[in-house]
A and B are shown apart, each in its own frame.
Chain A
């Protein structure tokens, strides 16, 4: 059953423009599975995405869709019972999966850094701010103690922490949530990484603090030319920050496009559902909210065909038994849905009348 999903069609996994870009990171057909007592959870099952130098890729999806696991896989931070069972993670010209642990450590925190949703659990409570940032520098730079201290103060100032000379001695519990998030960003930026993986960096923060942190990330990105993988469930954050967006559902990418095309015309029924069901400041208050029916299927009881079929308003007969493959539409974006069979050029991407008719007769 899982093999349905195993065969990638080369060249069709990424949007056309991304495929041709100057790729810094390229994840191809990544599969990360967790062996648990009752079976195998395919948390990431054949995921491909790529980030161009200096660009931002947004990964959107609900909890359990595999977006965080895919980023942890890039960093090789998957622990048993989890295991990366397939695919490649090309970082410039090296496959990170082929590196030794030692080589990987020199990449991690230096060339690629990661920040997490909950800074309190990501920071070590028994070391002060200066120690934690200093540790990153000790690992990756041949600095003297004085140079380390100066660089630490410098990055604390860069992330907007007032009075860094005092805060360098503060322990995580002495800092507010926003300040902790800044310290974690400072740690991640200490070695000026070329890529930052940000896993829900503002979800635990209040909106005014979220606005500050997003502004900070934007500023640093502009100043250093750093690329960003931004993982979030908040489409507003994606719209403001990302160049490209990959939408994930139950371990797969279901739609992948540049941010403007995606928001202007979402193609996958799940993406459409997400966009219309969340109230925004533009939502008509008198109308009922549209919803996505049901809930995310259990990861160990996935259906044979399309994983979204039980919630899809447009499910057809073919969706029941055939897992759709990602395919590229004429505008260059990719989508995983039977509503979009491969068409000769000139096809406008809208579902065919026949497909609609099938959907009607199926019910």
Chain B
């Protein structure tokens, strides 16, 4: 395992473990008496990125941006509408489900809802081993005990039920369940956002330790930018089903270019009362993903939108060192630290109204 990580450090192209190409996922919206499909929720539209072996790739955005959908579609929990996903060079849609499950696993956000209350902790963790018929019952028990110790739950508790554990311990159980088959790739879907603040750092440290120990590759899905900045090597920012910006973590956090990313960063409250600052507050809310705006999807809330932004969808363009930005006017704001103008809520309402009337024409 350790040699794998060392090899991954060389930056060759076959270091890519997971490759997502033009992934699109639409969910049908049914209505009427016959429950016909009347619309589609555009949860993810032509999302592409590569995750390198041994790295942590972050997917951030607000609720409804499609980040969870992308994570679940990679694992084939949802079938993709179109696009391809490759795992170690192989097309995921053609892989056997069991092979998939041994290589890719997921940690869920809610440590209360994601563990079956009627099964003992040992049973939950060992279920994967049983399904895959790995080892004798005796060997399985050894493996369960081993993984419990690794994630920091005493293996004496294997016969207890989930309700006997606190939120942080349950999240450790969820991690043990995901790791027992020794996958290479883990989707962490908001793994700490349901936990008490004093517990979050314990779980983040554990995830970091496990990555080193097992040479894991993570897709880390979260809305908390401070957590993402600490955990991830590279980050993609999603807005309404699209990646709007992607870069190495230090680059993204010091040189955010896209107006949405900048607003997102400005919105984070800073735990330092002596630091006074002007913040860029974007008005309005996420438009409906069933009927995303024409052109740039951020145009209803963007203070610098031009005519082109209402007509043409901006492609992701490389601004150097793999810093990708999907914005027509990004060049104007690629002067690091240029303050963006503020859009007033009156202007925002006027734009929203005009966009709405033009889309119904």
Contact = CB atoms under 8 A, between A and B. Distances in A.
B62 A206 contact: yes
Contacts of A354: none
A363 interface: no
B355 interface: no
Interface stretch (B127-135, B153-161, B264-272, B313-321): B264-272
A277 B201 contact: yes
Contacts of A292: 198, 201
Nearest to B199: A295
Interface in A261-309: 263-264, 273-275, 277-283, 285, 288-293, 295-296
A240 B269 contact: yes
B292 interface: no
Contacts of A162: 345, 349
A279 B201 contact: yes
Contacts of B281: 208, 211-212, 215
Contacts of B196: 62-63, 233, 295-296
B263 A208 contact: yes
Contact of B271 (A211, A280, A285, A295): A280
A291 B225 contact: no
Interface in B143-174: 166, 168-169
A176 B166 CA distance: 32
Interface of A: 62-63, 160, 162-163, 176, 178-179, 206-212, 214-215, 233-240, 242, 259-260, 263-264, 273-275, 277-283, 285, 288-293, 295-296, 311
Nearest to A162: B349
A257 to B, nearest CB: 11
B345 A281 contact: no
8 contacts: A208-B62, A208-B282, A236-B271, A278-B197, A278-B200, A280-B270, A281-B225, A295-B196
Contacts of B200: 277-278
Given A234-B269, A240-B269, A279-B201, A289 B230 contact: yes
Contacts, number: 126
A278 B223 CA distance: 15
A206 B285 CA distance: 10
B213 to A, nearest CB: 14
B201 to A, nearest CB: 4
B197 A274 contact: yes
A292 B204 CA distance: 13
B248 to A, nearest CB: 11
A209 B285 contact: yes
A290 B201 contact: yes
B279 interface: yes
Interface in B265-307: 265-274, 279, 281-283, 285-286
Contact of B198 (A208, A210, A282, A295): A295
A256 B226 CA distance: 26
B205 A210 contact: no
Contacts of A278: 197, 200-201, 226, 271
Given A273-B198, A295-B196, A176 B285 contact: yes
CB-CB nearest 3 A-B residue pairs: A236-B269, A206-B62, A211-B267
B197 A62 contact: yes
B interface: dominant SS: helix
Interface in B205-235: 205, 208, 223, 225-227, 229-230
A295 B199 CA distance: 7
A207 B208 contact: no
Contacts of B264: 207-208
B269 A283 contact: no
B204 A279 contact: yes
B173 to A, nearest CB: 14
Nearest to B165: A295
A239 B270 contact: yes
Contacts of A260: 273-274
A288 B282 CA distance: 34
B269 A291 contact: no
B271 A275 contact: yes
B63 interface: yes
Interface string B166-203: 10110000000000000000000000000011111110
A263 B272 contact: yes
Given A239-B271, A239-B273, A295-B168, A285 B201 contact: no
Contact of A178 (B204, B205, B266, B285): B285
Given A162-B349, A259-B273, A281 B253 contact: yes
Contacts of B282: 208
B249 interface: yes
Contacts of A280: 226, 270-271
Contacts of B270: 236, 239-240, 280-281
A207 B62 contact: yes
Contacts of B226: 278-281, 283
Contacts of A208: 62, 263-264, 267, 281-282
Contacts of A240: 269-270, 273
Interface in B97-139: none
Contacts of B268: 207, 236, 281
Given A206-B62, A274-B197, A211 B204 contact: no
B285 A277 contact: no
Given A236-B269, A263-B272, A274-B198, 16 more contacts: A211-B279, A215-B281, A236-B270, A239-B272, A240-B270, A240-B273, A260-B274, A263-B271, A277-B198, A279-B204, A279-B229, A281-B229, A281-B253, A291-B202, A296-B198, A311-B198
